[in-house]
Every structure is written in C-alpha cells, then in structure tokens.
Amino acid sequence: MTGKYPLQAIFFDFDGVIIASNAAKSEAFRTLFAGYHEEIIAEVVAYHQQHGGISRVEKILHAHEHIIKQPLTEEELADWAGEYARLVVDKVIAVDWIAGAKEFLDSVAAVLPVFVISGTPEDELRYIIIQRKMSGHFQEILGSPIRKPEHIRKLLTRYQLVPEHCLFVGDALTDFHAAKETGLHFIGIQGEAAFPKGTIVLSDCRGLQDVLAQQFVRLPGSPENNESHG
C-alpha cells in the first residue's frame, strides 16, 4: 500500500483468517487419503496447504491426476468431495476464532460492508457461518465453485466500490493474487504462504485495526475519526 485511501469495504477469506480451521482441514485430507502410502498422503496434504483458497474439488482432482495418477470420474469426484465434507464440517463449526477476528468484525461490520469469499462450497460455507452464529457480521457470503476474482468483480460492481478503496485479507497466495488481479489492497494473516516481499503480513487479526488506521483514512471506529476538529 502507498498513500492513504478512504476504506469502502473489506473482503475476507474465511479459513485461517477468521476461524482457526486450517489444521482441521489438513487432518481431513490426511484421513480422506488414509488408504494410500504415507508419501502420497504427505504430498496431498502439502499441496492442500500450499494452495489455500482453492476448492477441495480442485485439490482432490489434482491429487488423483498428478500424485496418485488415477483420474476420477465425475461420480467418483463427487463421492470424494462429499466424504471430505462429512469429515470436516462439524470440526470447522467447533474451532476457535482467529485471535482478534471477532473483535475486529464486531467493530466494523455495523459501519462498513464486510464480505466473505472462500474456496469452500458456498452452501457449506453459509451453513457453517449460520451454525457459528456469525452471519450478522457479513454483507455477503460467497464460495466455490465461482473463483474469487469473479466474486470480487461482481461485488465491486454491485456495491459501486472503487478497487483501490477496498481491502482483501487472506492467508494464501490465491488470496494475494485475487486481490492484485482485481486492484484491491491486500493484508496477509498467518498461514504458510510465502507472500512477495513488501506484503504486510500479521500473525493474526489483533493488529488489523492499527494497520488499517495507518493505511486508510476514514476508517470506521479509528481514533482519527473520533477526534473533534472544531
């Protein structure tokens, strides 16, 4: 980021950014492929961790086509994706918030549009968010199979947002590239991604308010907005 901009909206990834679900999802991939040799399992899990933000369908396809080298039929793919969902949904509903995420959302959701854009299937994502009683924090909740840049472009148009006045907060290179492709600013949150040099990366969401106050003007809830200039 360079200079200061009025902040119009924030786009969030979900897993590993708002809730601490990355470990549960990695374990679900390990369980899903438990019938294969440990070397294959390790490679599948590594691919999953290195490609956060894309759908489990793409990851399962890659695992079978490029690691196991036994492509799946559409019916088999649906079965594998369904089994993954059964392994992971209840665990994701139960995991903790990322530190600072709830407090940050509580402070901005009433005064600023906040969107969730995830690689999780949209129906499942909405179910998880409803079960966690989080839906009131978000203007829209969007997931796969539509890719993140397409979601972002539609939201920018629908809400008449200026890209350089918006921010994407994510934990994966998929998120970083989605932000850059659509002209949004980007802040990284923890994760295992090796973000490009110069990227602002926080260990969790506890410092997010302070960073935004430094980078944006007219940030809802910031001390700058609450000062009296009379």
CA atoms within 13 A on the CB side of 20: 12
Tell me, what's the pLDDT at 190?
80
Give residue-wise pLDDT tens across range 146-185: 999 999 999 999 999 999 999 999 999 999 999 999 999 9
Tell me, what's the pLDDT at 219?
53
DSSP label at residue 128: H
Tell me, what's the pLDDT at 103?
95
Q: Strand, helix or coil at 43?
A: helix
Tell me, what's the pLDDT at 54?
79
Concatenating the DSSP letter of every residue in 191-203 gives: SS--PPTT--EES
CB distance 229 to 218 below 8 Å: no
**Within the chain, which residues score under 50 in pLDDT?**
1-2, 222-230
